[in-house]
């Protein structure tokens, strides 16, 4: 599910431009039109922002279809994902969970066979519009993969990698410390920042990758089965961390582990065979009293 080629792209640069939109996708002359424009009334187009107590929508999709050549992987997906909560995406293998996640920051652009129809909205802006620069988009929407993938560099350089190549100004020492603190790794590595990231344990490597994703200060963090390669203790630390991250970021996590979804998420989206989003609701509702029999059958292990 993890595209080995995607690591480099996810860390790619935009030359430090703050604009998230570009008429020139080669990146030579970005326009000043931002993808996230404070003048856009997100509430009109996407969110349940009129409802007291409801979070605004950060990521939405409308009638989203994805095909790999002539195989349809997602069918007419409509969803509104709230800010600063954990949303879990669950469903049987092959139902399109990773495909949906990869649509959000346009990682599917890297798959030649992939074709996307419909809209994927980030703060009300369709990320598939021609004027959106996917590299800039990925600074706002970071990603953590199934297998920890630190670079063969020092811990410090792993965290600053994205900033370095983007030419981002700032106090790197402070950014590194903040990112490692937010990733719950600082206390374990503060005296060995020059050591290789590859010398860390698997769980520490995954937290380093989370620190790397946090360093450019994204709004959304996508996670594709981030704990499935880890032992139970490391998994538990990652789960605690994910809940903490949702105080500042919108976290969207694909997991095949239903207990994990029930433990850490606020909202759960259930995709079923054929790439259909069958139900999306509060996690408690999904696990205790789902609307659809098919969801109940899946949750209770009758299939999948």
Which residues bind to ligand ADP, rule: CB under 6 A?
Answer: 1, 68, 71, 73, 91, 93-99, 111, 113
Q: Which is nearer to ligand ADP, 89 or 208 (CB)?
A: 89
Distances (CA, A) of 176 to 145, 179, 182, 261: 20, 5, 10, 30
Q: How many helices (H) and strands (E) does the chain have?
A: 12, 10
> What SS3 state is found at 102?
helix
Q: Which is nearer to ligand ADP, 93 or 192 (CB)?
A: 93
Query: What are 209's two structure tokens?
Result: 């990758």
Q: Which is nearer to ligand ADP, 99 or 206 (CB)?
A: 99
- Beta pairing, strands 86-90 & 71-82: unpaired
Q: Which is nearer to ligand ADP, 115 or 181 (CB)?
A: 115
Identify the bridge partners of residue 283 per DSSP, sorted by sequence position.
none
Burial of 102 (0-12, 13-18, 19+ CB in 10 A): buried
Least distance CB 113 / ligand ADP (angstroms) = 5
Spatial distance between the Cα atoms of 92 and 294, rounded to a whole number of angstroms: 12
Least distance CB 70 / ligand ADP (angstroms) = 10
Least distance CB 227 / ligand ADP (angstroms) = 15
Query: What are 207's two structure tokens?
Result: 């937290």
Query: What are 272's two structure tokens?
Result: 């079923």
Q: Which is nearer to ligand ADP, 26 or 70 (CB)?
A: 70
Q: Which is nearer to ligand ADP, 1 or 165 (CB)?
A: 1
Q: Which is nearer to ligand ADP, 14 or 279 (CB)?
A: 279
Beta strands in 48-113, from DSSP E residues, in sequence order: 57-68, 71-82, 86-90
Alpha helices by DSSP H, listed for 183-257, are: 186-189, 202-214, 232-245
Least distance CB 1 / ligand ADP (angstroms) = 5
Cα dihedral angle (10, 12, 16, 19), rounded to 10 degrees? -60
Least distance CB 73 / ligand ADP (angstroms) = 4
Least distance CB 132 / ligand ADP (angstroms) = 22
Least distance CB 278 / ligand ADP (angstroms) = 13
């Amino acid at each position: 599910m993890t595209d080995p080629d995607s690591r480099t792209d996810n860390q790619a640069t935009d030359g430090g431009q703050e604009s998230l939109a570009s008429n020139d996708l080669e990146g030579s002359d970005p326009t000043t039109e931002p993808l996230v424009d404070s003048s856009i009334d997100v509430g009109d187009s996407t969110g349940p922002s009129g409802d007291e107590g409801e979070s605004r929508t950060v990521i939405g999709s409308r009638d989203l279809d994805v095909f790999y050549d002539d195989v349809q992987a997602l069918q007419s997906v409509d969803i509104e994902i709230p800010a600063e909560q954990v949303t879990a995406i669950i469903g049987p293998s092959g139902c399109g969970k990773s495909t949906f996640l990869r649509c959000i920051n346009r990682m599917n652009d890297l798959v030649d066979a992939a074709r996307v129809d419909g809209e994927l909205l980030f703060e009300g802006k369709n990320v598939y519009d021609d004027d959106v620069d996917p590299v800039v988009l990925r600074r706002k929407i970071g990603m953590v993969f199934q297998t920890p993938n630190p670079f063969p560099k020092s811990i410090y350089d792993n965290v600053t990698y994205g900033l370095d190549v983007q030419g981002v100004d700032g106090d790197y020492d402070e950014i590194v410390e903040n990112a490692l603190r937010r990733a719950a790794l600082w206390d374990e590595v503060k005296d060995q920042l020059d050591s290789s990231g590859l010398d860390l344990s698997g769980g520490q490597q995954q937290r380093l990758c989370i620190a790397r994703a946090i360093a450019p200060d994204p709004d959304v963090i996508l996670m594709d089965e981030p704990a499935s390669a880890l032992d139970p203790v490391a998994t538990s630390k990652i789960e605690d961390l994910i809940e903490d991250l949702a105080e500042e970021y919108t976290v969207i996590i694909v997991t095949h582990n239903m207990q994990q979804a029930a433990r850490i998420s606020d909202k759960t989206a259930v995709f079923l065979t054929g790439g259909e989003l069958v139900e999306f609701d509060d996690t408690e509702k999904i696990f205790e009293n789902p609307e659809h029999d098919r969801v109940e059958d899946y949750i209770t292990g009758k299939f999948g």
